Structure 1
Amino acid sequence: MVKIRNRTYALSICAMFTAVTAVLSQISVPLPFTPVPINLATFAVLVAGGLLGPVYGAVSLTVYAALGAVGLPVFAQFSGGVGIILGPTGGYILGYISAAWLTGFLINRLPKAIWSSVLAMSAGMLSCYLLGTAWFVVQQKVDLLAALGMCVVPFLIGDGIKIVLAAFTVKAVTRFVH
């Protein structure tokens, strides 16, 4: 985790990760069988949690979700608005907040090693999957098995790669900053 020196620095770093998440959200690939696109936002979410810790990581993603909710086109495919939050992908966007928080929380408590960062980020991703898939089931009125087939299984390999890359990114940045 990067040492937060003061409140101004903390807010600047949170704003930077909000912007990074918005930019990486635009690198997305729609899939024909699900309204959930592949995108790089989850990479930014995991790095934010890993570098900023639970509080500031969650703050940066809360600001991201709030900016999108008020209509700024920060979500995938330059979308925004409360309709996106209430739509099929809204639970995943809100799950970004829990993923950043849980990732940061666990990274602060586990040994400083790549395997523990991968474990923490996997738990964070799982929390995003849980919130997002639960909301998808409710919003789309589908059963859990169908939701898992549309919203989790197709993303496992890519998210696994993002987790490993995010863990190495956090390690490299932490080594560079300290």
Structure 2
Amino acid sequence: MVSKTKISVNEMAISALFAALTAVMGYVVIPLPFSPVPVTGQTFAVMLTGGLLKNRTAVISMLVFIFIGILGLPVFAGGRSGMGVLLGPTGGYIISWPLAVMLISKLLGKKEPIGFVYTLFVNILGGIIIVYLIGILQLALVTRLDFKRAFMLGGLPFIPGDIFKAFVSALLTVRLRKTVLKQ
């Protein structure tokens, strides 16, 4: 029997797998000429991680992702890495991800079955609103923009795509959650 404070090998493997998924989703980057924030699939990975994994495993996954990025592995958007990314204009989005997966996982809980509409709502709350608040705040601070202007550059253009990601993630979460949570 595994104690609650120890991490099982299975939990480590699943955390590493979802950290890798988050990294892979950052390799396809669509730069926007008017924004320092690129379009990636990483927020999709964040929503899926929070939806499919137990709370602790989901948070560990995002912390591992951030830690290996700090160490220099090219896991951040476009294959970037290092503390400079986390301290730069887009770092707040990444820094928000452990909180986002924690919120998504907690709100979905261990309930089975979960409904699509509720899962979509949770994805929007945790995977979009929380990520945007922290990300846009750091964007505003680093670039010395007011919050409204930072939202116009680092939030508004991404809303349609992120709602689509939340929708697809909710579909997958509802279908796969029972299987993945057994792990």
| Bin of the TM-score, shorter chain as denominator length | over 0.9
Say yes or no: does 1:174 pair with 2:159.
no
Say yes or no: does 1:153 pair with 2:127.
no
The residue correspondences of 1:17-166 to structure 2 (distance < 5 A) are 17-108=18-109, 112-124=114-126, 125-166=128-169
Amino acid aligned to 2:53: L
Deviates more, 1:51-60 or 1:141-150: 51-60
**What per-residue deviation string (whole Å, max 9, x for no partner) do you get for residues 61-108 of structure 1?**
111011111211101111001100100000000111111111111111
| Separation of aligned partners in 2, 1:123 and 1:45 | 12
Give TM-score, length-normalised by structure 1: 0.92
| Separation of aligned partners in 1, 2:63 and 2:89 | 18
**Structure 2, unpaired ranges of 5+:** 1-6
Q: Which has the higher helix share?
A: 1
Contact preservation (8 Å) 2:94, 2:135: yes
**What per-residue deviation string (whole Å, max 9, x for no partner) do you get for residues 20-65 of structure 1?**
0000111210110111000000111111001113221111011101
| Separation of aligned partners in 2, 1:66 and 1:133 | 22
| Separation of aligned partners in 1, 2:82 and 2:38 | 17
Runs of 4+ in 1 over 3 A off after TM superposition: 175-178
| Separation of aligned partners in 2, 1:55 and 1:140 | 33
| Separation of aligned partners in 2, 1:14 and 1:133 | 27
Q: Which has the higher strand share?
A: 1
Contact preservation (8 Å) 2:51, 2:177: no
Contact preservation (8 Å) 1:96, 1:128: yes
Contact preservation (8 Å) 1:53, 1:103: no
Amino acid aligned to 1:54: N
| Separation of aligned partners in 2, 1:152 and 1:65 | 22
Map of 1:3 onto structure 2:
none
* Cα drift, residue 175 of structure 1: 4.5
| Separation of aligned partners in 2, 1:109 and 1:172 | 15
SS at match of 2:38: strand
Q: Percentage identity across aligned positions?
A: 34
Amino acid aligned to 1:117: T
**Structure 1, unpaired ranges of 5+:** 1-5
* Cα drift, residue 174 of structure 1: 2.2
